[in-house]
């Protein structure tokens, strides 16, 4: 397991490309300025010890040394020991709708972005519980297997968009079935499925899937995204909206009746999430009512600092930069293995 002990220092990396661009700009400006004084070839003969490349080499060596120092300050660490701990909680699989209708902005900034905010807030409220994530449209895929690593879950969450599932549609039943099969094999653990969608199911039987999940002891909750009034579906960044075969703009609406029916069949509740904070609070109250179970989790408990190599690299680069002179070396300049002394050649002949 890898982590940075002081990740805040990584923000200093932003100065690296800035310095590189500034050096390039000054080099071009210096070259143009020298051209104003005369022929560059003539100036080179007048200043034989001046090297046009060494200052640039020295600068980039310093730049690499600075990069190594920044990573050194960030304190890279590797986990060295895994410890098993007993935790008391539940397992939660979240099924997130990523169909094109989730791009509708009848709730701002969009249904999908509001759903991702809701999941992030829910993750922040979890303690000792395990969480997994499924994305679905016309098909369903496991995005995050069941885990207690909330930081990784939130990291994956930020990259989700409506292009992640190639098959369009809204297969809520398929997502519920996949969620049932995605829980761990641990016995006697309470489990819940949270389906976050606009409820426009066109593919399968989500009510039957929720009933089947309940028969296995898994409660299904639904969270509605959108408004009953609905809104158009944006198509990319062109500013156009999805249209039907007659050229009319398609309006997607939140189907609260469907979501309430799914939740009732799954033994849970339907929660409208137009107000994220209120919706998440209500959902957490529901999840808190489930009895917590003991299960084993493995975590890294010891981390060892691994900055030594980077620090040595930075020191070597600084030493090399110090040794390299900004001007041509007068001794080395006289050595030319490919030049023949004509006088000595005549003596040999």
pLDDT of res. 327: 60
Query: Which is more confidently placed, 12 or 27?
Result: 12
Same domain, 143 and 236: yes
Query: At which of 264, 281, 298 does a domain end?
Result: 298
pLDDT of res. 94: 96
Same domain, 247 and 223: yes
What is the distance, to the nearest Å, from the Cα of residue 197 to the centroid of all Cα atoms in its chain? 23
Region class of 226: left (phi > 0), else alpha (psi between -120 and 50), else beta: left
pLDDT of res. 183: 93
Is there a contact between 270 and 172 (Cβ–Cβ < 8 Å)? no
Same domain, 117 and 40: no
pLDDT of res. 52: 66
Same domain, 29 and 151: no
Query: What 8-state DSSP symbol labels residue 243?
Result: B
- pTM for this one? 0.62
Same domain, 57 and 110: no
pLDDT classification of 127: cutoffs 50, 70, 90: confident
Write the CATH number for 188: 3.40.50.410
Query: At which of 280, 298, 316 does a domain end?
Result: 298
Joined together, the tokens standing for residue 66 give 């600075």
pLDDT classification of 42: cutoffs 50, 70, 90: low
State the chain's mean pLDDT as an integer: 82
E-assigned strands of the chain?
2-4, 76-89, 91-97, 130-136, 140-147, 191-197, 218-224, 231-232, 234-235, 240-241, 251-252, 267-272, 293-305
Query: At which of 257, 276, 298 does a domain end?
Result: 298
Same domain, 23 and 153: no
Sequence-ordered list of residues with C-beta below 8 angstroms from that of 243, at least 6 positions apart, any chain = 249, 250
pLDDT of res. 199: 86
Same domain, 206 and 154: yes
- Residue position matching structure tokens 């519980």: 129
pLDDT of res. 345: 47
Same domain, 226 and 330: no
**Model pLDDT for residues 231-288, shown as the tens digit of each residue:** 998 887 767 888 888 888 889 999 999 999 999 999 999 988 767 677 778 888 888 8
pLDDT of res. 31: 75
Find the angle CA(144)-CA(219)-CA(258) to the nearest 5 degrees: 95
Query: Which is more confidently placed, 317 or 3?
Result: 317
pLDDT of res. 299: 55
Same domain, 339 and 260: no
pLDDT of res. 332: 47
Same domain, 55 and 88: no
Same domain, 71 and 150: no
| Range in 71-85, 96-110, 195-209 the model is least confident about | 71-85
Q: How many domains does the chain have?
A: 2
Quick check: 340 pLDDT over 80?
Answer: no
- Could you tell me the residue range of the domain that residue 143 belongs to? 83-298
pLDDT of res. 219: 95
- 128 C-beta neighbours (distance < 10 Å), count: 15
- Return the HEC string of 147-179: ECCHHHHHHHHHCCCCCCCCCCCCCHHHHHHHH
Q: What is the mean pLDDT of residues 201-205?
A: 77
pLDDT of res. 257: 92
Same domain, 234 and 109: yes
């Amino acid at each position: 397991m890898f982590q940075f002990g002081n990740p805040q220092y990584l923000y200093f990396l932003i100065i690296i490309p800035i310095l590189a661009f500034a050096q390039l700009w000054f080099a071009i400006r210096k070259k143009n300025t020298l051209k104003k004084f005369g022929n560059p070839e003539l100036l080179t003969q007048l200043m034989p010890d001046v090297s046009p490349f060494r200052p640039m080499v020295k600068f980039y060596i310093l730049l690499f040394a600075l990069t190594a120092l920044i990573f050194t300050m960030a304190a890279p660490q590797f986990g060295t020991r895994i410890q098993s701990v007993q935790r008391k909680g539940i397992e939660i699989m979240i099924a997130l709708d990523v169909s094109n209708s989730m791009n509708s902005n009848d709730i701002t900034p969009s249904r999908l972005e509001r759903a991702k905010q809701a999941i992030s807030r829910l993750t922040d409220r979890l303690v000792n519980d395990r969480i997994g994530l499924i994305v679905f449209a016309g098909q369903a895929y496991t995005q995050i297997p069941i885990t207690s690593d909330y930081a990784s879950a939130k990291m994956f969450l930020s990259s989700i968009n409506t292009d992640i599932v190639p098959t369009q549609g809204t297969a809520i039943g398929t997502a519920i079935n996949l969620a049932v099969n995605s829980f761990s094999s641990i016995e006697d653990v309470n489990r819940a499925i949270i389906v976050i969608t606009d409820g426009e199911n066109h593919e399968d039987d989500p009510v039957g899937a929720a009933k089947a999940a309940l028969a296995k002891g898994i409660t299904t909750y639904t969270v509605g995204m959108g408004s009953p009034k609905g809104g158009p579906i944006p198509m990319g960044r062109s500013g156009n909206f999805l249209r039907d075969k007659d050229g009319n703009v398609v309006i997607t609406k939140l189907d609260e009746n469907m979501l309430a029916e799914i939740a009732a069949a799954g033994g849970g509740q339907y929660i409208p999430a137009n107000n994220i904070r209120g919706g998440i609070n209500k959902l957490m109250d529901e999840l808190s009512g489930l009895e917590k179970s003991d299960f084993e989790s493995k975590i890294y408990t010891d981390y060892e600092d691994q900055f030594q190599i980077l620090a040595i690299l930075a020191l070597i680069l600084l030493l090399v930069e110090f040794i390299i002179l900004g001007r041509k070396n007068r001794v080395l300049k006289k050595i030319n293995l490919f030049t023949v002394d004509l006088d000595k050649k005549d003596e040999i002949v």
